[in-house]
């Protein structure tokens, strides 16, 4: 039996009016969100009908506005109602605590993961928001962070790894991910950045993904626009034959 997984960078609180109806409509079994504000997390639990954990990364925002608490905490979220062994978190770059924002380069990077049970079958799922570079090209900090993430991933024999990887398909770091994982975004998809909602649109990069090791397969993958500055990636996950 397959289950529906969605990964989506929601861009803080800028798209609540589209993200919330989308989650209500799609009803995922596993939901991975990036750029979540702590004050909105309960809302996502409610509208998705799922339970889970908010993973704080840093405090404060890059461009304060009159409508946002300057002490808001931003992070990721992993939610599911399937039986699991608990959601665990490993920091592979930066401060394990929740530092105040200084620069994008210093944002802590964390992997959250859990093993769920679906009809007697176990699936290990991890999600992250990987290190950003200004032009989509690898730099030395991103290369070092990739090495640290790979050290953490060695603990998993099989893994479904999803999130915003900030590493465009076809470029150096993406190719390194492909050395271990299968890219499940259809080849006819040329971007996972929304061509209308992204502040630097149009950017044509596939940076969001559901990667898998050989034990798993992902079918009926959809990349849905009009939700956030990133498109939502939806897939049906099952055991490989």
Residue 1 confidence class, pLDDT cut points 50, 70, 90: confident
Q: Per-residue pLDDT for 67 more than 70?
A: no
The answer to whether residue 66 scores a pLDDT higher than 70 is no
Model confidence band, residue 62 (pLDDT cutoffs 50, 70, 90): low
Pairing between strand 208-212 and 121-129?
unpaired
Q: 10 Å Cβ neighbour count for 188?
A: 6
Which tens digit of pLDDT belongs to each residue from 124-138?
Answer: 999 999 999 999 999
Q: What is the pLDDT of residues 206-234, one digit of tens each?
A: 999 999 999 999 999 999 999 999 999 99
Task: Give the chain's domain count.
Answer: 1
Nearest-5° angle of CA 124, CA 163, CA 98? 95
Angle in degrees, CA 30, 220, 186, rounded to 5 = 105
Read off the pLDDT of each residue in 169-194 and give the average, rounded to a whole number.
98
How far apart CA 37 and CA 129 sit, in angstroms, is 14
Average pLDDT along the chain: 95
Residue 160 belongs to domain spanning:
3-239
Average pLDDT over residues 48-66: 86
* Residue pLDDT, tens place only, 86-95: 999 999 999 9
Q: Once rounded to an integer, what is the mean pLDDT over residues 147-171?
A: 98
**Pairwise CA distance, residues 166 & 34, whole Å:** 12
Q: Who's near 75: CB < 8 A, 6+ residues apart? A: 36, 38, 54, 55, 56, 57, 58, 110
Count of alpha carbons within 13 angstroms of residue 22, beta-carbon side: 21
What CATH number does residue 204 fall under? 3.60.10.10
pLDDT, tens digit (0-9, with 9 covering 90-100), for 148-158: 999 999 999 99
3-state secondary structure of 233: strand
pLDDT band at 40 (very low <50, low <70, confident <90, very high): very high
Strands 88-93 and 121-129: unpaired
Beta-bridge mates of residue 100: 59
- Long-range contacts at 113-116 (CB < 8 A, ≥ 24 apart): 113/78, 113/87, 113/88, 113/89, 113/156, 113/159, 114/78, 114/80, 114/84, 114/85, 114/86, 114/87, 114/88, 115/84, 115/85, 116/30, 116/80, 116/82, 116/83, 116/84
Give the distance from CA 114 to its chain's centroid: 14
Its pTM stands at 0.96
Own/partner long-range contacts of 115-119 (Cβ < 8 Å, ≥24 apart): 115/84, 115/85, 116/30, 116/80, 116/82, 116/83, 116/84, 117/82, 117/83, 117/84, 118/1, 118/3, 118/29, 118/82, 119/1
- Reported as a pLDDT band with limits 50, 70 and 90, residue 161 is very high
Q: 67: which 2 tokens?
A: 């409508």
Give the model's pLDDT for residue 34: 98
- Respond yes or no on whether the N-terminal peptide bond of residue 36 is cis (omega within 30° of 0): no
For the segment 8-38, what is each residue's pLDDT rounded down to a tens digit? 999 999 999 999 999 999 999 999 999 999 9
pLDDT at 236 over 80: yes
């Amino acid at each position: 039996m397959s289950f529906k997984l969605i990964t989506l960078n929601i861009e803080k609180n800028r798209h609540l009016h589209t993200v919330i109806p989308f989650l209500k409509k799609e009803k995922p079994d596993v939901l991975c969100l990036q750029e979540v504000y702590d004050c909105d997390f309960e809302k996502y639990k409610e509208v998705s009908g799922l339970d889970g954990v908010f993973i704080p990364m840093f405090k404060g925002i890059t461009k304060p506005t009159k409508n946002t608490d300057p002490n808001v905490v931003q992070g990721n979220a992993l939610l599911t109602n399937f039986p699991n062994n608990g959601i665990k978190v490993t920091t592979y770059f930066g401060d394990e605590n929740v530092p105040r924002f200084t620069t994008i380069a210093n944002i802590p990077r964390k992997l959250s993961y859990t093993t769920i049970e679906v009809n007697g079958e176990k699936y290990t799922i991890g999600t992250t928001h990987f290190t950003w570079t200004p032009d989509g090209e690898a730099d030395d900090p991103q290369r070092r962070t990739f090495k640290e993430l790979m050290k953490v991933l060695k603990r998993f024999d099989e893994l479904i790894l999803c999130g915003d990887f900030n590493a465009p398909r076809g470029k150096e770091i993406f190719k390194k991910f492909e050395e271990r994982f299968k890219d499940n975004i259809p080849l006819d998809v040329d971007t996972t950045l929304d061509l209308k909602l992204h502040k630097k649109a149009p950017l044509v990069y596939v940076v969001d993904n559901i990667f898998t090791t050989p034990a798993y397969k992902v079918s009926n993958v959809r990349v849905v626009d009009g939700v956030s500055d990133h498109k939502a990636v939806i897939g049906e996950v099952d055991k490989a034959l």
